[in-house]
Amino acid sequence: MSSTTLKIKTKSPKPNNDKNFLLGVIKVAGGTFLGLTLFSTSVVAGGLAGLAISFRNLPDVRVLKNHIPAQTSHVYDIKGVLLASFHSEEHRQTVELEEISPELKRAVMAIEDSHFYSHRGVNPNSIARAMLVNYRSGSVVEGASTLTMQLVKNLFLTQQRNFSRKLAEAILALRVEQVFTKDEILLMYLNNIYWGHNNYGVQTAAKSYFNKPAEDLNLAEAAMMAGIIQAPEVFSPFNDYAVAKRRKAIVLNRMEDLGWITSQEAQSAKNEPLGVGKPQAWQRSRLPFVTDAVRDEVVKSFGSDMLIKGGLNIQTTIDYNMQLQAEEIVRNAHRNLRRRGVRADQVALVAIDPRTHFVKAVVGGVDYEKSQFNRVLQSRRQPGSAFKPFVFYTAFASGKYSPSSSVANFSKGYRDGSGGGLYSPQNYGGDMGGGNVSINHALTVSLNIPAVVVGQEIGLDKVIEDSRTLGIESPLQPVVSLPLGPIGVTPMEMAEAYATFASNGWKSDTTMILQITDNAGNTLVDNTPKPKLVLNEWATASLTTVLQNVIQPGGTATTANIGRPAAGKTGTTSGERDVWFVGYVPQLSVAVWIGNDDFRQTLGRGVTGGSTAAPIWRQFMNMALKDEPVLQFPAASQFERPKPPEE
């Protein structure tokens, strides 16, 4: 038979649809030998069936119909950039038979089982040869395994080499051939076989060795891959390229001897230089702060086994390029702060899109290698005056106040409910205040006394209720000083709350995960935004109007001015232990926190959110909004002011 009959192009159909391919494989030894082979197989099959009584405890091969091998889960950014992979010992991604290069199928069968499409699970000629060799040596030194026998050995049996295991292997192979088609067996084999360096299955091996999917492997690459199977770690090109190249030649010679390729094709493939990749099984995450958080969320919902064995595809809301630039900005800013004498160990930043409440970037600290603690999600720190907008939003929503409302900038003190004395708030720097001021002025320059006074007048329980609506889940207590932010919250909570201000009261569930699908493509999680109006629009627009003044001349955060409409609030706690700036434009809400993991350590006298956190916010926003249009916030005049409740 001519070699033309056997030649298959890289993009040819799967074997059972390619008649030339099947004819070539089946007729490899000629029609007469095929008849003898089938006859011999039947004889051996009958003999082995008689011995099956001794193997009643062998597993039922029909379980393979529902067998789903452990598969690697992958995490991607919003645009499909691979960020990380999670798997157990078996790094695997299954594919369909038509997604595997025909050259690889032929190469594997050539070197491992050239009669695969003609035998019934065992190859009598190979068995006879192996029995003779093993008899002479007194032990099992040569196998006679078909692909089917190798499959059942990997899935059902131990790797111990003895006669009883080989017999069990043969019996199970016969059973498998009765239940499954040849194509199904070949696919299970290629998806399950070990290819070295924790790569199980052809797809992960192809991506690891040659940086391409299995369907794109050419003849030279396929021959090298097939040559690895017998001793993956020994014949791996990562360990010894010269040895791998010799194995490639052996496979090509075998394919030529079988008539499956021409001598010219074999020689060309031998001479072809191969661009070998690098092991991928245990590669570190490209964005570890992100993927750690995603891992924890998936494990919480589905369990760790599903993550490392379920073959999940997890698409995050993160923008890879924005995240990288955010990390660089945080590192550089921290270095500059230290040079200025600011005693800050950590800086954290988180960005949320108010239109979707998708998290776009999350920088949990200065250096992940030194500390994996994600301060954006796990660290509850005092927000200081950055909490005041919650108080004044509640005031506006009550209908009793507007930005121009006059409030007291003095206090005789309030009882804090703890059985102690009076709590008398002071403005920053120890100022005891005096007279009345507008809410607009009080918030613009961050006066403490008016915030406490308003909090008492509108009721702190209502402030807490609105804070919960905005996404603050940390414990809150209705203490007199609550408007000044003495409680601990996370940067994520602050960015989420301000994102709802940025969307003028519309809120979706804040998330880092857009979608999760299983290995069959079924959707397990779909976080498509479902925005709901949760705040009063007039009150929110009024608050945003005031917060825009914070970054204008006379405000506490002029260093946050980015040359477009933006709103925000500084936060500086007593003792300068935590400083914040949380701000937003219609497209992005960003929280920046600076501090030390040891809460007792101060940042230094005079350090404020406006002088340290706001410039970091400005730098990030200028980068993130570079290609974004300038958008205006809605004016309060567009909405109806709420009516105060009747007394």
Is residue 266 a contact partner of residue 256, using CB atoms and an 8 Å limit? yes
Please provide the DSSP assignment of 341-355 as one string. Answer: T---SEEEEEEEETT
Residue 169 annotated among the catalytic residues of the structure: no
For residue 544 the two structure tokens come to 């945003």
Is residue 257 a contact partner of residue 263, using CB atoms and an 8 Å limit? no
For residue 575 the two structure tokens come to 């003792």
CA distances from 175 to 64, 94, 609 (A): 11, 24, 72
CA distances from 323 to 83, 281, 508, 562, 612 (A): 11, 24, 22, 20, 21
For residue 511 the two structure tokens come to 């998330």
Identify the helix (H) or strand (E) that includes residue 537.
helix 537-549
For residue 160 the two structure tokens come to 């111990």
Strand partners, 593: 348, 580
- Spatial distance between the Cα atoms of 645 and 399, rounded to a whole number of angstroms: 8
Q: Nearest CA to 446 among 328, 346, 551?
A: 551
* DSSP code, position 488: -
For residue 166 the two structure tokens come to 């080989």
CA distances from 628 to 257, 352, 561, 568, 590 (A): 63, 15, 16, 19, 15
Strand partners, 523: 517
- Spatial distance between the Cα atoms of 494 and 206, rounded to a whole number of angstroms: 45
- Spatial distance between the Cα atoms of 497 and 58, rounded to a whole number of angstroms: 60
Angle at 495 between CA 490 and CA 498, to 5 degrees: 125
Q: Other C-beta atoms within 10 Å of 587: how many?
A: 18
Is residue 92 a contact partner of residue 312, using CB atoms and an 8 Å limit? no
Residue given tokens 């964005």 in the structure block: 287
Residue 99 annotated among the catalytic residues of the structure: no
Residue given tokens 């060795």 in the structure block: 209
Q: Nearest CA to 505 among 397, 361, 383, 376?
A: 397
Half-sphere exposure of residue 172, counting CA atoms within 13 Å on the CB side? Answer: 30
CA distances from 78 to 133, 318, 320 (A): 58, 6, 8
Options 236, 385, 467, 503, the catalytic residue: 385
Is residue 445 a contact partner of residue 552, using CB atoms and an 8 Å limit? no
Options 103, 112, 177, 256, the catalytic residue: 112
Strand partners, 351: 361, 590
SS3 at position 595: strand
Please provide the DSSP assignment of 89-154 as one string. Answer: S-EE----GGGS-HHHHHHHHHHH-TTTTTSSS--HHHHHHHHHHHHHHTS--S----HHHHHHHH
For residue 126 the two structure tokens come to 């190979």
Is residue 589 a contact partner of residue 498, using CB atoms and an 8 Å limit? yes
What is the maximum span of the chain, computed from C-alpha positions, in angstroms? 111
SS3 at position 46: helix
Catalytic residue numbers, as ranges: 112, 385
